[in-house]
Amino acid sequence: MRIAALLTAVAGLAVAGGSVYLTRDLLEVRTEGPLDNSSTRAVIVASRDIQFGEPIDAQLLATIAWPVDHVPAGVFHAYDDLLEGPKGEPRRARRAISQGDPLRATTVSEFGEKVTIVQTLSPNTRAMAINVDAATSVGGFVTPGDRVDVVLTQGRNESLRAVTILQNIRVIGVDQDADELDDTPGVARTVTVEVTADQGQRLALAQRAGALSLSLRSLDDDAAQELDTVQLNDLLFDSMPVEVKDRRPVVRIRRATDLSETIVN
C-alpha cells in the first residue's frame, strides 16, 4: 500500500511539473517581442452618454484601438485636443453623444464656444416653437428626436374640419430640453420643431388659424401620404344608415308619437 501511494505521489508531481513547463513556454511565445500596433490607431470615444451642451472632461472619455483604414473623419486621437483650452474653457457637446461613439469635430464645440439649439439644425432649416398641451402633444410622450405630423383643426359646429399641414417633422426640443437621450415623458407647453422656410410660414399661419395637434410617427415610417381634409359632416354621415349616406333630402313626418321618414328623389 505504501509503495502504491508513493508511486501516485510521484506521478502527480510529474504531471504538475509538466503543466508548469508547458504554460511557461506558451507565455513566452505569446509575449515574445512587442505587439504590432501599426494597423490600428487610438480614437477617443465617449465612456458614457454625453448630454447636449455638457462640458467635455476626462471622465467622459475613453480610448479604443481603431483599424487605420477605417478611422472615421473628424475624430480626435489625443486628450489634449479635447480637454481645457489655454484659458481653461471647456469644449461642449453640440448634440447628444452615445456611449462608445467617437467624438468628432462636428459633435463638440470649440474651446469656450456657446452651445445652443442652433447647432442641432440641419442645413437650410429653422427652429420653430408650437404651443401644445397634454392632449395636443400625444399625452407628453413627444421627446427630442421624435418625428411628428402637424394637424390643424379649425372651424365651429358643422364647419369644423381637420387637415394635416406638415408631415415627418423632427422635434428638436421640448420646452427647454433638447437632449435626445432623455426619453422621460412629461407635459410640455411648447415643442420646437425643425422646418424649412416655407414650412415655417405655413406653421405660423396655421397657429393663427386654429388649434394644432401633433401625431407621433413610428421609427420606420418616413413616407409622406396624400391626405384629404376631414370635415365633421364626413364623420356624421359615416355613422348614418346606408340608405341616407347619399345625402338626399329626407322628409320627416311626426304624428303624435310616431315618426316617419321619406327620402325625396
On whether the pTM is more than 0.85, the answer is: no
Q: pLDDT-based confidence at 17, cuts 50/70/90?
A: low
Cα separation, 212 vs 45, in Å, equals 41
Give the residue, 253 or 144, on which the prediction is more confident: 144
Q: Which one-letter amino acid corresponds to residue 1?
A: M
In what helix (H) or strand (E) does residue 46 lie, and over which residues does it extend? Answer: strand 40-46
- CA dist list (Å): 103 to 24, 26, 40, 51: 41, 39, 17, 13
Residue 74 — very low, low, confident or very high, per pLDDT cuts 50/70/90?
A: very high
The class level of CATH for 40-102 reads alpha beta
Comparing 76 with 174, the larger pLDDT belongs to: 76
Q: How far is CA 23 from the centre of its chain?
A: 51
- Which residues are within 8 A (CB) of 135 and not within 5 positions of it... i.e. 6 or more apart? 213
How far apart are the C-alpha atoms of 151 and 214, rounded to whole Å? 6
- Residue 33, pLDDT score: 40
With 50 as the cut, is the pLDDT of residue 104 above it? yes
Residue 173 CB neighbours (<10 A): 22
- Calculate mean pLDDT across residues 231-249: 61
Task: Show me where the domains of the chain are located.
Answer: 40-102, 125-236
The per-residue pLDDT for range 155-214, each reduced to its tens digit, is 887 788 899 999 999 998 888 766 665 666 667 788 999 999 999 999 999 999 999 999
